[in-house]
Amino acid sequence: MTQGWLTTEAGAPVADNQNSETAGAGGPVLVQDQLLLEKLAHFNRERIPERVVHARGAGAYGTFTVTADLSRYTRARFLAEIGKETEVFLRFSTVAGNLGSADAVRDPRGFAVKFYTEDGNYDLVGNNTPVFFIRDAVKFPDFIHTQKRDPYTGSQEADNVWDFWGLSPEATHQVTWLFGDRGIPASYRHLDGFGSHTFQWNNEAGEVFWVKYHFKTDQGIRNLTQAEANRLAGEDPDSHQRDLREAIERGDFPSWTVGVQIMPAADAATYRFNPFDLTKVWPHADYPVIELGRLELNRNPRNVFAEVEQSIFSPAHFVPGIGPSPDKMLQGRLFGYGDAHRYRVGINADHLPVNRPHATEARTYSRDGLLYDGRHEGAKNYEPNSFGGPVQTGRPLWQPVPVSGVTGQTEAPVHAEDNDFVQAGDLYRLMTEEEKERLIAHLSGFIAKVSRDDIAERAINNFRQADEDYGKRLEAAVQALRG
């Protein structure tokens, strides 16, 4: 920071920053002490509302480098040629805990990447799991309410969690992930990332492809046992944030190999299950992961509040060649994320240094609002105009998707193998005996805390439908704990 005179927020020099102005040596403080009032008022407002979800997080800058030519699938210019580099900012987070919670907890990890491309920012907002608990955004507020503090007790309640999960069988797959060995990553460097949703790629010829993103950690997967996590959460609540920052400080830059699964658009209608269902993965045998590039983190933020807390990510931030899919959870997030940031950070949040485009310039007719900096000066604030303002391109970022039928609140079309339990059972059967034992121990310890037998029985029945052995062992473990 530049040395010089200390000033007020308005730039006036400060004569004394150690003593308040008083009426005489021992008298009361004067209201005319504007330095005191300014400092206290600013201090009272230093915190913006924390994120409702993903409040606890850490981030870093880095570089994404293209390593394979996939331009036949997408016209996105930042993916156009091998060796092309794009600056990125990546924010990791836990989901349920508030800002002061510990890092080493059993919870999904947010994996949100902002690509500062020459066509504007592209935000890929995912998790460290390829699936999620629900498939429709209309259930999201209810789901999060069950994970947060109960309005009466002020604590997370097992009754709420398992009542909702038991009544939402589509959660069985993600719950099996969460309570398995990967439920508590050892650090942010030692986890995989996923775009999770299905997205659209479209090429110069207008052909459409559905894709899923994969970020494979080059550091290898490392996880904590429940006992290790319990100890670490108490001894060092900032363990994941500290690990990421210190690794970058010593030049041990973490990286991920980035790949995509690609499905031709024509396959979607007849695929054996709904390819836009966020509770399911695409088996690699059907659509193998194709390498796309490498992401490296190599620069820490200079100010955590300005660059991590005020960073915003929205799935609605697309660039030419990339767009949404009919995934109902994604469709809800296209609105929800941007709306949350407009409430939390402000209408001009996109123009903060961490959020604004770095490789191009934003040109809009939006004006005014909180923290507006007057960047447009006297330029016209309407369109069309004849004064040389920015104009539309006439070419959409993504291709239209055909639709048919009538409007209404309906479930997604049913495919031949749509089922809420098949993939959870497949995941269970892939585990070793030791992994199964730990999974059962983690689940039973939590289910045993519910106060009503019917909630426990309904939750166990979902796992039984995924795999008979899974349910049988879980039932015995819960009964033993509940006496």
> Hey, which residues are catalytic here?
54, 127
Residue pair 222/154 in contact (Cβ under 8 Å)? The answer is no
Q: Which residues pair with 210 in a beta bridge?
A: 200, 263
Please report the DSSP string for 165-201 in residue order: HHT-GGGHHHHHHHTSGGGSBS-GGGS-EE--S-EEE
199 membership: H or E segment, kind and range? strand 199-202
Calpha distance 259→171 (Å, rounded): 26
Direct distance between the N- and C-terminal alpha carbons of the chain, in angstroms, rounded to an integer? 63
Give counts: helices (H), strands (E), the chain.
Answer: 12, 10
CA distance 365 to 245: 38
Smallest CA-to-CA distance from 225 within 435, 481, 479 is with 435
The CA distance from 110 to 108, in Å, is 7
Token pair belonging to 156: 């997370």
Q: Angle at the Cα of 132 (from 129 to 133), degrees rounded to 5?
A: 135
Residue 396 pairs in a beta bridge with: none
Q: HSE-up of 231 (CA within 13 Å, CB side)?
A: 5
Closest CA to 128 of 106, 104, 109, 112: 109
Q: Per the structure block, which two tokens stand in for 226? A: 């429940």
**Host H or E run for residue 39:** helix 34-44
